[in-house]
Chains A and B, each alone.
Chain A
Amino acid sequence: MLDRLSLDGRVAVVTGGGTGLGLEMVRHLARAGANLAVAGRRSGPIESAADEVKAMGQDAIAVSTDVSDSAQANALIDAAIQHFGRVDVLINNAALVSDSIPTPIWDISDQDWQAALDVNLSGAFYCARAASKPMADQGQGKIINVSSGFGLRGGRDIYMYCCTKGGIIQLTRVLSFSLARYGVTANSIVPGFIPTVGTDSEIRDALPRSGAYLPTGKLGVPEDIGPVAVFLASSASDYMTGETFTLDGGGLAGGLAPTGYAPEIPLEP
């Protein structure tokens, strides 16, 4: 039953695929046998990612895309179908990480709020809308939306990131319910704190320096997400839909209580 974890010949579209967690998912999907359409706003990182996939012997294209523009989201899916003939997997990973920098609510402009919604939530909706029809027509498809632990818990002064990532989980549930009858599944990956090379210094300063407060005692590494993305992209997850798959060092299970501290309380008489 483990051969269902192979992606041999599948076609996957990954947004935000040139850097960070997106790049790591691209690498693992290619290792599992998938061909890739790598999307991102900047051409340099996505072309380099596509070259890496081709060096592994898989086919790949790089498609410069700003997912907040629905015409570009449509063009991305069209480009993948034109090149590969089909789309089996869509990973909505693109997000403005800059809006995870804590900002007091009174300092957030209309434009700041809207820009984050446009990329993080509307972008995922546009790509899902473009990919779901061809997936439904072929009777199978996998939509994977990258949310965040901030999609399930609040963060101090982190408005847009929390709201859009929470929206991603709801988008996943509605997609799953609506597309189940067409053989298309939708699931969310919920990463906790996983520092990536792309994380700039201002964001890095806002993130925890170590995972000492987590049950695992350490932060995640980008490689952690690879096998989870491959599982959700593969037919091994065909009976799983509308769900979240969390990689967070145990943070959500226990909350942010410092680990190692716990009182012992004797049984009452």
Chain B
Amino acid sequence: MPLLPQYSLAGKTAILYSAGGDEAPFLAQALAEAGASVFAICRRQETLDAVSESLSNEPGRHSGVAAVIDSKGAVDAAMAEFRGRHERVDILVNDGRSMFARAAKEIWLDDWDEVQSRNVRSTFLISQAVGSEMIGQGYGRIVNIISGLAERGMINGSAFSVSQAGLLALTRSLAVEWGQHNIRVNAIGVGWTTAEDIPVEEQRQEQLVRYIPVRQKGQPRDIGPLLVYLCSEACDYTTGQPVYVDGGLNAHP
């Protein structure tokens, strides 16, 4: 199968941060398939185990740590683990989508703060640490995986939507601020996804699935090739942009 050489990540090292959800293993697999070494930072041990399992055919090349990244000390400790195994970091992928949905008048402030901390504060802390190294070496690619709720409202979605809009604004700001250092910062915006293989006809029994123009939920593998391109050296002129892979949700009413 002819493939453009521009889609290769051979020789690159990627840090993958997962705030939550079950898609990190697929993102890690896409990066590894393109040739990158992957170091995962997962908020939950369960997610890290799933990532390690998905990369188990090359156990020596990939590693990771389970850590709650809510302070400078926490990110420094995770980066110390990383430096124990790798020389430099070329790629940072942040999946800041720990989901939460509750009626706005019933959201406790602790829950609100926790959602913002898991998704935004942690992504900022890691981006700041990794970005500093990228500035020093004059090269880097950062991709934030965000929800399309960065652009739209949803009933019960206020806390989560705010966190996603924050990540989109962070994407644009870091792109503008770090562009001069040959660092590109983009986002992939996803719609309604599932990591499970559910037959399409079964999915369509749900009204919300029929509302998606392509009439099926997205799969994490749907964003794998795009993630690889946005992490590649060839992605040199695109920065500060969200690319939505959402079955057409963002383009219709």
Contact indicator A231/B226 (Cβ below 8 Å): yes
Contact indicator A176/B4 (Cβ below 8 Å): no
Contact indicator A247/B172 (Cβ below 8 Å): no
Task: Report if A108 contacts B (CB, 8 A).
Answer: no
Task: Report if B113 contacts A (CB, 8 A).
Answer: no
Chain B residue numbers with a CB within 8 Å of A192 are: 237
Question: Which B residues from 200 to 253 make CB contacts under 8 A with A?
Answer: 213-215, 218-219, 221-226, 228-229, 232, 234-241, 243-248, 250-252
Task: Report if A217 contacts B (CB, 8 A).
Answer: yes
Contact of A239 among B1, B222, B229, B236 (CB under 8 A): B222
Contact indicator B213/A242 (Cβ below 8 Å): yes
Question: Which A residues from 43 to 77 make CB contacts under 8 A with B?
Answer: none
A219 (CB) vs chain B CBs: closest residue = B237
Main secondary structure of the interface of B (DSSP, over half): mixed
Looking at the assembled complex, report how far the CB atom of A235 sits from the nearest CB atom of chain B, in whole angstroms.
9
Task: Report if A11 contacts B (CB, 8 A).
Answer: no
Chain A residue numbers with a CB within 8 Å of B247 are: 180, 239, 241
Contact indicator A8/B179 (Cβ below 8 Å): no
Q: Once the chains are docked, how many angstroms separate the CA of A215 from the CA of B243?
A: 18
Q: Mark B61-93, 1 if CB is under 8 A from A, else 0.
A: 000000000000000000000000000000000
Binds B, one of A26-34, A91-99, A199-207: A26-34
Task: Report if B176 contacts A (CB, 8 A).
Answer: yes
Task: Report if B156 contacts A (CB, 8 A).
Answer: no
Contact indicator B3/A3 (Cβ below 8 Å): yes
Task: Report if A113 contacts B (CB, 8 A).
Answer: no
The CB with the most chain B CB atoms within 10 A, among A3, A5, A6, A192, is that of A5
Contact indicator B215/A181 (Cβ below 8 Å): yes
The CB with the most chain B CB atoms within 10 A, among A234, A239, A249, is that of A239
Task: Report if B126 contacts A (CB, 8 A).
Answer: no
Contact of B246 among A1, A215, A239, A245 (CB under 8 A): A239
Q: A176-B251, A243-B244 are in contact. Are A31 and B236 (CB under 8 A)?
A: no
Contact indicator B252/A173 (Cβ below 8 Å): yes
Task: Report if A2 contacts B (CB, 8 A).
Answer: yes
Contact indicator B241/A33 (Cβ below 8 Å): no
Contact indicator A242/B252 (Cβ below 8 Å): yes
Binds B, one of A116-124, A125-133, A156-164, A251-259: A251-259
Contact indicator A6/B176 (Cβ below 8 Å): no
Q: A33-B1, A231-B225, A253-B176 are in contact. Are A1 and B239 (CB under 8 A)?
A: no
Q: Mark B156-175, 1 if CB is under 8 A from A, else 0.
A: 00000000000000011001
Contact of B225 among A214, A236, A241 (CB under 8 A): A236
Interface size on A (CB < 8 Å)? Answer: 53
Question: Which A residues from 1 to 36 make CB contacts under 8 A with B?
Answer: 1-8, 28, 31-33
Chain B residue numbers with a CB within 8 Å of A88 are: none
Contact of B1 among A3, A181, A240, A250 (CB under 8 A): A3
Q: Once the chains are docked, how many angstroms separate the CA of A237 from the CA of B7?
A: 14
Chain B residue numbers with a CB within 8 Å of A180 are: 213-215, 247-248
Q: Once the chains are docked, how many angstroms separate the CA of A135 from the CA of B172?
A: 36
Q: A180-B214, A215-B175 are in contact. Are A228 and B248 (CB under 8 A)?
A: no
Binds A, one of B27-35, B99-107, B116-124: B27-35
Contact indicator A253/B241 (Cβ below 8 Å): yes
Q: A1-B33, A215-B180 are in contact. Are A254 and B175 (CB under 8 A)?
A: yes
Contact indicator B236/A216 (Cβ below 8 Å): yes
Chain B residue numbers with a CB within 8 Å of A177 are: 213, 248, 251-252
Looking at the assembled complex, report how far the CB atom of A12 sits from the nearest CB atom of chain B, in whole angstroms.
14
Q: Once the chains are docked, how many angstroms separate the CA of A135 from the CA of B182?
A: 40
Chain A residue numbers with a CB within 8 Å of B179 are: 214-217, 249-250, 259
Chain A residue numbers with a CB within 8 Å of B132 are: none
Task: Report if A87 contacts B (CB, 8 A).
Answer: no
Q: Give chain B's interface residues, CB within 8 Å of chain A.
A: 1-4, 6-7, 29-30, 33-34, 171-172, 175-177, 179-180, 184, 213-215, 218-219, 221-226, 228-229, 232, 234-241, 243-248, 250-252
Q: Give chain A's interface residues, CB within 8 Å of chain B.
A: 1-8, 28, 31-33, 172-173, 176-177, 180-181, 192, 194, 214-217, 220-221, 224, 226-228, 230-231, 234, 236-243, 245-250, 252-254, 259-260, 262
19 contacts between A and B (CB under 8 A): A6-B3, A33-B2, A181-B213, A181-B215, A216-B237, A226-B4, A227-B7, A227-B235, A236-B224, A239-B219, A240-B226, A240-B244, A240-B246, A245-B238, A253-B172, A253-B240, A253-B241, A254-B175, A254-B240
